[in-house]
Every structure is written in C-alpha cells, then in structure tokens.
Amino acid sequence: MTHPTDTGSSPVVPGAPVAPNLTAWRNAVFVVFTLSGLTLASWISRLPAVRDQLHLDTAAVGLLILCLSAGSVVGLVAAPLILNRIGARRGILFALCVSGLSLAGVGLSATLLPSPGLAMLFLAVLGLANGALDVMMNLEGAGAERAIGRTLLPLMHAFFSLGTVVGAGLGAAASALGIPVSVHLLVVAVLILLVAVVVVRYLPAVVESDEPLAPALPLKARIRESLAVWADVRLLLIGLILLGMAFAEGSANDWVAIATIDGHGQDNTTGAIMFGVFVTAMTVGRVAGGPVLDRLGRVPVLRWSALIGAIGVLLFILSPSLPMAFVGAGLWGIGASLGFPVGISAAADDPQKAAARVSAVAIIGYVAFLAGPPLLGFLGQHFGILNALYVVLALLILAALATPAARERTGKFSRR
C-alpha cells in the first residue's frame, strides 16, 4: 500500500511538501486512531458505574474485562480476512460502526436492561471490532507514512492517547454530573458513527503498491498464508520487541500508581500523579519520535528507547526518594512510547504480507497487555510489587537485543 490510485501524484521526495490528498489521508488516519482511543476510554471510565449497576464482585469484573480482551484477540486474527474481503476503507468503517453500536449496547445492558451476560456479549463484540480496527488502522497508517515519506505511526499512536484522554475526561464529567451510563455511552456511540461515516471518505478506496499484487487466493489458502508468517524468524524478533515494549506500557498503566502507594509508601493522590507523569512522557515520546526516527533510523532509536525504559524502571524500583521515582516513571514512559508503533511499521514493510504480519505482531503485543497485569499481580502478592517490576526490566533488555530485526528494508523512505 503506497498511495491512492486516483491521486495522480508524483513520486514522493523525502522532506518535500505533502500533497493535499495525502494530507487528507494522513489526517483521516489520525481521526481513526482518536476514535479508537475514545471508544475504549469511554467504556473504561464507566466501569465502576457498570459494576455498581450490575452488582458485580471483583471476580465478575475481571470476567467482563476478559470478554473484551478475548474478543480483541479474535479481531486481530480476523482482520486480514476482513481486509481481503471488503478492503481497508469499508473494513475500517465496519469496525468503527460495530464498535459504536456495541458500546451503546454495553450502556443498555448496564442500566435499561441490566444483564451481566448481555454486557459480556457486547464487550466481546466491542473487543472484536476494536481488535480488527487496530490492525487495519495501523496498516493504513503504515501506508500513509510510506506515501508521504515521513515517519508518522508514533504520532498516530499519540492521537490514540489523545482519544483516551478525551474519553476519560468525558467519562469523569458524565459521572460527576450523574449522567446514566446508557445515555453517556449512547451519545459517544452516535458521535463515533457520525465521524466514522465522514472520515472514511478521505481514506483511499483503492490503493496501488510499488510491488506486483499477488492474485486473489481462496479462503483456505489465505488462512495458510496468514499462519505461514509465524515461521518468519525476523517477524518473531519484531514481535519480541513489541512484547517487551507493550509489557512495559501495560504494566505501568495497571501498576505504577499502586507501586507508588504500596512500594514507596505514598498516598493515592501521589500515585495518580505518578501515573500522570508516565502517560505524559508516553505522549511526548510519541509526538517527538517521528523526526528522531527519520534522522537516526529504527534500530538505534528502538535500542536506546528500550535501554532508557530499562533505566527508568530500575530507577523507579530502587529510588530512595520520591523525586527520583518521578524521574524513573518519566524515563519509563519515554522508553516505552515508540516500541509498539515502530514495531507495527517494521512488520508492515512487506506490502504483500503486511496484513498477516501486522496481525501476528499485534497479537504478540496484546498477549503482553493481557498477561502482564495478572502475572505482576501474582508476583507482587508473593514478592512485593516493586520486585515484580524486575520482569519489566528483563523484557526491555530482551527487546533491546532484538532491535536489529526492525531494520528498514532497502529503499525505505527514511534518511539513514
């Protein structure tokens, strides 16, 4: 995937002004990433209210989250099949519409028709749609950055973070104002549907590749092709990079506040501030990462990112003072910020197999997001939460060792 066939644009020169049609494509992908973040944060922000409305205990809440996660994995696997069947533009529209409708369904099942089983069903569908959207929007982002000739995926993931901030803010406001979950999530769902219908018009309906397209394959052959990428050692090493970086990101999201309170003896407010430092550093790293990647290349940036993240985790664990712990959290966030988007970009280097390859490494990344919280919780229960974080340190070091696998293909747009 390189550029829309109907653009008539000349070959892209790195550093040259971006043609208006490519700018529209890029901006549309920014919006899609924002909508994905908004969807997830809207649900997460109202989870306490959903729990109260359905009278769930902690184990049942965990089951709700598991349904969302399981659906996400199915969506990651299904994404290449959706792309082959209906294409990226219609696939993204379909995924956004299903996400919006299932989000509204979660609100319905929490208040108007209270039913834990119905909520689980809608969350599984929401996870499936968002998992498929994850692969498709990352592929679309990789195609846009190749066409434009600049590294954009880190910035696109920053827009996802922006969507989560907006979603969390709207959820907090709705909760403070006493707005029912069903009304809040229905309004967000309508917003997602309206924006989705408009924004997909700016995605290319058909794209051409700078390499010959493979002939269409039967379903069984496409499934075999999707499974075959798992035999690619280089791809598995890219997956290891994502595993370490995604584990670092997910573990901080779930545990940095608790580790600040239980491990460093601080209060709840300080724990929340520590989490804020981490996510702010993540966002800054993603916004600033593109130009640095274009100048230095993937391998040195990823290697230094992993090492900076490892230093941050170690500082956070061993910090004798609160200011040093804040520094550690900031370095942790900066170090973890680029791994996922750059890993996705590296997996998408081969246009012929991009969908299957991105799906594979995204699954590895999601395994880290899914397995991280319970693993660290188990270790923290037995050895203390700060000691449990040494797992994050070890995985970041492994990610640093695997970074040569992310090297750009010959002819890649970035200046090296």
| DSSP sequence for 208-255 | E-SSPPPPP--HHHHHHHHHHGGG-HHHHHHHHHHHHHHHHHHHHHHH
Query: Would you say how long the chain is, in residues?
Result: 416
189 vs 252, residue with greater confidence: 189
Residue 199: pLDDT over 60: yes
Residue 315: pLDDT over 80: yes
At residue 331 the predicted structure's pLDDT band, cuts being 50, 70 and 90, is: very high
Please give the structure tokens belonging to residue 2.
Answer: 């390189």
Q: What is the pLDDT of residues 271-298, one digit of tens each?
A: 767 877 887 788 888 888 778 887 888 8
Q: What is the pLDDT of residues 352-377, one digit of tens each?
A: 666 677 777 777 777 776 666 667 77
State residue 344's pLDDT score.
77
At residue 239 the predicted structure's pLDDT band, cuts being 50, 70 and 90, is: confident
401 vs 162, residue with greater confidence: 401
Domain range summary for the chain, segments of one domain joined by +: 17-203, 227-406
Phi-psi region at 149: left, alpha or beta (left = phi > 0; alpha = psi -120 to 50): left
State residue 412's pLDDT score.
47
State residue 376's pLDDT score.
76
Residues near 16 by beta carbon (within 8 Å), at least 6 away in sequence: 149
What span, in angstroms and rounded, lies between the C-alpha atoms of 154 and 142?
Answer: 10
Asked if 241 contacts 339 with a C-beta cutoff of 8 angstroms, the reply is: yes
Please give the structure tokens belonging to residue 309.
Answer: 């993240």
Of the listed ranges 22-31, 116-125, 170-179, 296-305, the least confidently predicted one is: 170-179
Asked if 253 contacts 44 with a C-beta cutoff of 8 angstroms, the reply is: no
* Maximum Cα interatomic distance, the chain, rounded to a whole number of Å: 62
At residue 415 the predicted structure's pLDDT band, cuts being 50, 70 and 90, is: very low
Question: For domain 227-406, is the CATH number 3.40.50.300?
Answer: no
At residue 210 the predicted structure's pLDDT band, cuts being 50, 70 and 90, is: very low
Residue 322: pLDDT over 60: yes
What span, in angstroms and rounded, lies between the C-alpha atoms of 9 and 39?
Answer: 34
Mean pLDDT for the stretch of residues 31-42? 88
Residue 208: pLDDT over 50: no
Please give the structure tokens belonging to residue 121.
Answer: 């069903």
Mean pLDDT for the stretch of residues 59-77? 76
What span, in angstroms and rounded, lies between the C-alpha atoms of 249 and 115?
Answer: 33
At residue 53 the predicted structure's pLDDT band, cuts being 50, 70 and 90, is: confident
Handedness of CA 342, 346, 351, 353 (dihedral sign): negative
- Does 227-406 match 17-203 at the fold level? yes
For domain 17-203, the CATH class is mainly alpha
Residue 325: pLDDT over 90: yes
Per the prediction, the chain carries an average pLDDT of 79
82 vs 66, residue with greater confidence: 82
Q: Both ends of the chain: CA-CA distance in Å?
A: 22
Q: What is the pLDDT of residues 177-196, one digit of tens each?
A: 888 888 999 999 999 999 99
State residue 213's pLDDT score.
39
416 vs 133, residue with greater confidence: 133
Residue 6: pLDDT over 60: no
Rg from Cα positions in the chain: 21
Mean pLDDT for the stretch of residues 391-409? 87
